[in-house]
Structures are given as C-alpha cells and as structure tokens.
Amino acid sequence: TQLLEQSPQFLSIQEGENLTVYCNSSSVFSSLQWYRQEPGEGPVLLVTVVTGGEVKKLKRLTFQFGDARKDSSLHITAAQPGDTGLYLCAGNFGNEKLTFGTGTRLTIIP
Amino acid sequence: EPEVTQTPSHQVTQMGQEVILRCVPISNHLYFYWYRQILGQKVEFLVSFYNNEISEKSEIFDDQFSVERPDGSNFTLKIRSTKLEDSAMYFCASSRRGSGGYTFGSGTRLTVV
C-alpha cells in the first residue's frame, strides 16, 4: 500500500509571505498531481508532473518534483487570501488508481 | 471549460435502500473513476472504468457496489444496500489517459440514515 504524507497539515501565514508545502512517499510515483479542494467541492487539478527534477510554474505557484520521483513541493510566493484552501497531492504508482495525501490546509490572513 | 457533472448534489437514503449516483464525464475522455471522501478523511479510490469494463477496483468496492455506462454519456455508481458507513462525498472523475490529470465533478453528498 502506497502512502503519501503531506506536511504541514495546517499552515496559517500573513498575506504577502512565502510558503512551501511538501508531499512525500516511500514509493516512486509514475506521475504526481497537485489539487486544490474547496469545502463541499471536488478536487481541482493544478498541475501534473511526471519527470524527476521537473519544475512547473502556475503564476505565483511553483511545483517541483524530486529527482527520485518520491517527493514534491509546492511553493507559493507572496500569498494572497484567495490562496486559502486545502492543497492535496495525489500520485499514480504505475496504475490508474490515484492515491491522495491527507492535504495541507492553508489559511492566508489578510 | 469542460466539466464533469454529477447528480444529485445531495442524497439522503435509509439504510438498506439502493442508490444510484449519476455522472456525465467529459465527452472526449476515455477513463472514468469513482472516488469517495468520508467527512474529515482522505479522498479514496473506488473504481476505474475503461472500454466498458472495470479496469481496477479497491477493496472498498465490494459486491454491493456496481458501475455502469448505460449510454454514451452517463456513468453511474450503484450501491445496492446502503450502510451507515457509506455516508460520504462521492466524486466522479474522468481523464483522457489512464494517468495524469483528472477532472473531478463537484460530488454527491450521500447521507445514509
């Protein structure tokens, strides 16, 4: 059974600060995705990474995939209140099944 | 932007009753999925469906669950005899490939009483 651990579980920072959240697994991902989930809604895909060392940017969000494809990070620059939400990492491990982490609940204080 | 549509958004049912949750995946997607999320817990995989058959299922997806693509657009999850522990948000998802980005619907909140 593959497990994904996300850290921190909760993060509360002031508007304008930078932050990084992490996703780790003991197994190698064939692909990894980051999602954002609002209360009562389904996860919304932010990015997919497949190549070790890959870096993708989405405006103020930077996603990095570890060289060994076992970990990933999400860095947000100059956080805004609109970034508040639950950030989930999820991975495929050589099959279609997507395994989700428990998420990082981010709160940006105006 | 194309969406995955789920109905109903909320369903309350009595224990032992059958429920059918409905989904309309994105039209040019070939892979379809059901996931569930019990309140306060992780999103969990239930089943994947490709080429009109189940391609993978989890240990949660036991004999009380079934999926069907009755026509070219709908994808349904049937729970035959609901239990209290089936109360959860059920999410349908679809993708063009078998891995990579998935588009999730907004979910059906199922409450079994």
pLDDT per residue as tens digits for the range B40-87: 899 999 999 999 999 999 999 999 999 999 887 899 999 999 999 999
| Nearest-by-Cβ selection for B101 from A30, A45, A101 | A45
Amino acid identity for residue B95 in this structure: S
**Residue B98: which pLDDT band, with cuts at 50, 70 and 90?**
low
Token pair belonging to B40: 């306060």
| Nearest-by-Cβ selection for B101 from A42, A48, A103 | A48
Distance of CA B80 to the CA centre of its chain: 14
Yes or no, beta carbons of B33 and A98 under 8 Å apart: yes
- A10 contacts: CB under 8 Å, gap ≥ 6: A104, A105, A107
Q: Are B6 and B68 in contact (CB under 8 A)?
A: no
Residue A28 to residue B45: CA distance in whole angstroms: 19
Yes or no, beta carbons of A97 and B45 under 8 Å apart: yes
The distance between the two most distant Cα atoms of chain A, rounded to a whole number of Å, is 42
| Nearest-by-Cβ selection for A96 from B4, B31, B105 | B31
Enumerate residues 52 to 71 of chain B having a beta carbon within 8 A of any beta carbon in chain A. 55-56, 58
